[in-house]
Amino acid sequence: MSRIAVCPGSFDPVTLGHLDIITRASSLFDHVIVLVSVNMQKSNFSFSLDERKNMIRSVTVDIPNVTVESFDGLLADYVKQVGAIAIVKGLRAVSDFEYEFQMALANKKLYDGAETVFLTTSAENMYLSSSVVKQIASFGGDISHFVPEQILDDIRKRLVKEK
């Protein structure tokens, strides 16, 4: 039986930190579904759902066991629907922990058939987040160390403010 993991997030936009977690998850599971999901605490997205999915597709094109989907319901329902055995998330720092712990417990309560697996973020990505990338890009800063090369131009075009 194929061991499926779901890697959920907003991915607005996908960063090298996300890509690191997705790549490592792809070597642990038979199939990884990167799931662009709804976060009710975030509503002002810089990129549309299709743009976010296409950016993830373009940076994971060389990883054969990764697919990209979206879902606007409960993560636990999606995980059950596709028969996944794990939800994979990256943990950057202690500051992530409380929120992630709460979500992991809630998801387990909603669906007992999958475990949340935390991968520690690589040291070079500890400080990285989509919002940091957006702030730096909007002020014309260099984001080439933070996002995959394939989507650099897409992000710059959208976010760099005209002077």
Report, as residue numbers or ranges, the catalytic residues: 18, 42, 92, 130
101-120 footprint of ligand PNS as x/- string (CB under 6 A): --x--xx-------------
Q: Interface with ligand PNS includes 33 (CB under 6 A)? A: no
Piece of 3-11, 46-54, 117-125, 152-160 that binds ligand PNS (CB under 6 A) = 3-11
3-state helix/strand/coil string of 11-58: CCCCCHHHHHHHHHHHHHCCEEEEEEECCCCCCCCCCCHHHHHHHHHH
Site for ligand PNS contains 74 (CB under 6 A): yes
Rounded Cα gap, residues 26 and 66, in angstroms: 7
> 10 Å Cβ neighbour count for 4?
19
CA 141 to chain centre: 23
> What's the min distance (Å) between Cβ of 163 and ligand PNS?
31
Q: If residue 115 lies in a helix (H) or strand (E), which one and from where to where?
A: strand 115-120
Contact region with ligand PNS (CB under 6 A), list: 21-29, 53-61, 99-107, 146-154? 99-107
Could you tell me which residues come within 8 angstroms of residue 47 by beta carbon, excluding any fewer than 6 positions away?
12, 13, 55, 158
Stretches 49-57, 100-108, 133-141, 152-160: which one binds ligand PNS (CB under 6 A)? 100-108
Q: Does 145 bind ligand PNS (CB under 6 A)?
A: no
Task: Return residues touching ligand PNS (CB under 6 A).
Answer: 8-10, 37-39, 42, 74-75, 103, 106-107
